[in-house]
Structure 1
């Protein structure tokens, strides 16, 4: 129990926790990290980061979020806010290390890995080109608008929209449970 609200940390809303974290509440911020850390790391992995890099960028994003917690106004979810921070940090890191290539070969033959009737979204995302995966992940994982993505990736707005649409179309085709691309073909 905390003195300020009488509620245990796990019972408190993100907005309240963020406000207390902005006032220096480390325990409150720790609860926000506990709640949203895995979702931030999952977004980064879907954007193409290896596990160790996703952990590093997520940690950096939460440090930045703690330092800027007073800027969080509760107009959206805390999870979406920190995911946007993480996505931007990842893009900066990739650009800085010159690993990002604006255009890659669109043709992908990577199989979709299934577990019974469940299709693995992360494996399906790997079948997209790097730029499609980034655009789709930023749009639908980090909640960024197309113009924000265009600015972050230094791409024309129409190109971003095309990458998102093409990426979503490919994912829909691959994730169809009974479609021709929805099942892993067995060679035997």
Structure 2
């Protein structure tokens, strides 16, 4: 989409879906609040969050809707999870985030095999699987990348849909903070 084709969205008609965790998710939430974007942070009983604004605590039944075999997750990401039961709840929440948000924004690191490091990688893989626009800010390269045609392509994304996901690492760098801030400025400024 070129600059001329870009449709300006009204922030108050947009909703950020996230998890409210320390780092990228909390920062997405702070920027959403600053721009007047609605926010939903998915959680579960006993979940420790940094951002407790607009929290939606998922019931056991709702969590089960996002229940994905840990074998499938491990295979798609090419890694094993030592704390499978604890990670399962996080993955169940990520399912609800991606299922509700049309466009996915993640902050982290793209691995050589094209997956994204850590739990953030599951949101990215699920976004790809659901055929959603997926964007990752790689903190080492300090650049945004968009998944197009089965590869990561350098890009400068904007929020283009009224529902979107903001997720990522708890270990946000200065470049990561700046990337989130500039994403909101490009999209709504």
Alignment TM-score > 0.5, same fold = no
TM range (shorter): under 0.3
**Highest RCO, 1 vs 2 (Cα 8 Å, sep ≥ 6):** 2
Q: Which has the higher helix share?
A: 1
Question: Structure 1 length normalisation: TM-score?
Answer: 0.28
Question: Structure 2 length normalisation: TM-score?
Answer: 0.28
Q: Which has the higher strand share?
A: 2
